[in-house]
Chains A and B, each alone.
Chain A
Amino acid sequence: MSLWRLVLKEIRHRRLNFALGVLSVTVAVGVLVAHVVLLRAHDVRTEEILRRKQSDADARLATLEDDYRKYMKELGYNLLILPKEQDLAEFWDKGYATRTMPEENVRKLSDTGTQAMRHLLPIVQQRVLWPEQKRRIILIGTRGEVPIKHRTPKEPMLLAVPPAEAVVGHRLASDLGLERGSPITLLGRKLVVASCRPERGTAEDITIWIDLATAQQLLGMEGRLNAIEALKCYCAGGGIEDLRQDIVATLPDTRVVIRENRVTVRARARERAKAEHQEAMAAEKAHRESLRQARESFAAVVVPLTVTGAAVWVGLLALANVRERRNEIGILRAVGLRAAQVFSVFVSRALLMGLMGAVLGYITGLAMGIAAARATEGALSAGSLGHLFAAGVFIPVLVASPALCVLATWAPAVVAARQDPAVILREGS
């Protein structure tokens, strides 16, 4: 026979005392675990709410962004970089810049690798007389979009025009019966129509686009540009003033004109929606956090009270057990058991009480916590429930609960071990 057998048989014999002890440990552990589960469920639900709100907001913002991407494509470049000395009144009067700047500027700009700007298009532009047709046209020379360094190239909004070819505006093409492949002569230079643009209802309808170098030769503007057109991207964030300052810092001899249009209105709407969403998220987080703090405060009072109550109760039960077993202790000491063995009998009993209480309390607490979470947080998904079964709580409870029981039983066990068998046996004789 071992001491463990002695302990187990005694537990079976005085099962009420042991059951009351297990019950108190179960209640204490259950309350603790239920609160932990409730707080976890709260965190899980908070994450779900915030994720859903974020997802809704992302979808809304994506719709707004998609809108103005389409508008940007339709409306073309919204940023115009002009020579610094260009008189804007004259620019708006004539429809193009009369001053020039070095062609080198476009390379400097592309080297900055800016995130807020896309589609760089260097141009020369003048309103000229087309002597061969005796009508005034807008002549634009372009060498196509210049890629911005360190960025993935985008599909160009305007393709380069090959040398010896021309792209013709809708009005000119229809008036002169031009079509793809038609030969034309412009300022004495023989060109072939590469394509005819669809009707835009703007000055573009009387515009001819040709290769930049050819235009520079024809207009006597070698190595010079009138303007650089670009697209300010609102999806990358950042204000217009910031971008303007960045460009002027790179190209001090330029000025930047922003074309207000539906894109900027949409972009601002998106920024506003984004700010509103961030405010709503912050408010929701604050609300959930305050709810959590209230629950934590409640747990901070209830859990220690329950645990202390259970420890005191276990100690009292152990004391009652020691008193009830005085005779037994006396005879066991008389037949040769050491004081340490008597002590270990009571400690082992407490250890078993703590272990059983921990397991039962964990199961009970989990069930109570899930029920309470369902009542306060609504139905939890199966995936969310999985987060509540964490070993991170079970293991400490499995260790702490028996340890606390042993601690509570320590004093009664010492009393038992120190009992004088002679006194007990004399009383019984």
Chain B
Amino acid sequence: MIGTSLPRPDATGKVTGAARYPGDLIEPGMLHLKVVFAHRPHARIVRLDTTAAVAYPGVVAVLTAADVPHNAYGLVEPDQPVLCGEVVRFVGDRVALVVATSREAAEVAAGLVEVAYEDLPVLADAALALTPDAPLIHPERGTNLIYHCPIRKGDAEAALATADLVLEGEFSTAWQEHAFLQPEAGIAYVDEDDRVIIHTAGQWLHEDRRQIAEVLGLPEAQVVIRYAAIGGAFGGREDLSVQHLLALAAWKLRQPVAIVWSRGESVMAHHKRHPVTIRCRWGAMRDGRIVAVSATAIGDGGAYASTSQEVIKCVALFLTGCYEVPNIHVDAYAVYTNNLPAGAFRGFGAPQAQFASEVMVTRLAHALGMDPLELRRINLYREGSLEPTQQPLPAGVSVRTCLDTCLTTLATLPALPPPAAPHLKRAWGFACGIKNLGYSFGFPEQATATVELHGAATIAQAIVRIGAADVGQGTHLILRQIAAEALNVTLETVQLIAEDSAEAPNAGSASASRLTMMAGRAVHDAALGALREWQNEERPARITVQYRAPATTPLDAVTTAGRPNYAYGYAAQAVEVEVDIITGQIRIVRIISVHDVGRAINRQQVEGQIEGALAQALGYTLMEHFQMREGRVATPGLSTYLIPTILDTPPEIISVILELADPEGPYGARGMAELPLIPFAPAVADAIYNATGVWLSDLPFTPERVLRALCP
């Protein structure tokens, strides 16, 4: 059961079209919603006239800010209006919500909502956000600073002053769009028990419920979130998008309502990965010891806070990568601008920070005349290493093993024939990666599961209740496998109830690579608990278990010390690239991706996560150039924002799965789904350097940027 490659029960339906995604739930007779977006980056609403829209045939209502009981929401802090009444702060701000008997009527009427704006100065550059004359995005705060995360360890300036070698670096990364296959959609209605039911796609049932209950001013028990089949998420469904709009309309009108966003609406209206600029100085001694890092990072948080505060903490923590550095002076800032809000995206700040740290480590080695892999071995985290926050790392530090395995795997590969033409330069590049698993910095980390065993002499049915979202990563099969193993029953015996906030307890979000560890552990513990009840002749045997991870802490305000995380995942990659030095085009030839997953509950799914994340990493590194001009989206569709297809992915991806058991995870499993995204960009940068002798420091490495670096 554990460690096999059981096929996904949902796979066939997803391929044949039988799976019901949120957009498939729409039935005749439902009302249709259309959002009136601001389409301007910063403006005061002078006048809002819905008369013509309301008069349009088929229109049932036009909702505005005045209709929202509590007009503020957000994952971390409620700074985002459901519907804007006074000011719009980015192009995707929602100004009104048209409800009509048909989608067409709603669309036409949305165009009839008259909004007069007075444009305000636009802040489009995060680097200017904290300057004195920058326009304030939320004037009541008195600053555009969302969050500042300092980390201090030892004395970085003194150590840099006495280091044998100091290198400076500057890096920038771009927005990344989640581009999940299924744009936002869903339905909502009020049921016979006067509960508002929101049936959509998301990443955390109970958090969606909390926020919507707050917006509507209802007790949480009166709000029910259900998830249909979810067509990808990657962090992009952590923030509310259409869920609260559906809830508002259904609750106000007491009629079933539906919405489907177009790709253009999806791209404009949901948050992105943070663009981050990083300036840093790294100091090392001649023997290869890294002695100090001083770094500043600025993340563009866009118009609303979303999870910026948490992302920027991860940026700060990972600006020194997976290396034990005795002296650290780091300042990471998330700032407001009039750009699209930035928030969660697979990797959550780690890819940006470690693009810089991995490249700096390699550059240090070159400058010292050392093998970059040898320099890594000297400085890599090991058991007991002190984190930047001055605490020992949680047990299970396997990055060195990942790197060594990567090299032994590489040694087994045949060399390819030389490139077909002299202008094609081919080389391997290397990088390591680290990512926290689960919630950080004192955020309460728990997952709760209920297991019910039915039958007489033997267990005929095991019902597992756990509100854990299967966003496509296969969590539901994993949880059933864990329950079946713990109970020693067949997979078919285990029935999972996971997609209804009223029927399943809170497992936390599908994020931070945490569900296999956290939800898996809760199911494991509950299954064993229920089995004990069963052995005590309880029929049905039923138990609810809350698993709480080892505690983490916020960082001390003065010393910045603390225990930020209870677990980390580690990875190492080797990437072979071919650079066309005349056009700047880059082809990824082969990838070795090594991951310590503790225990592969389902091997095929682990490989699927590695390969899928690598495709996303490839897009992030080479193709996905999200562009904004003065707060407006210049790449609103997939014809202008390029995501990889199968033609862009290399034919050979070698996934190496290490199973060094984690002390906390179920059967030793630890999270892994974000890790492949982290070493990839710096590994490609290293390969480009090895092939051509130039470093690229701005993601993505488009052909044009590569050529400019080659022929400055």
Q: Do A and B bind each other?
A: no
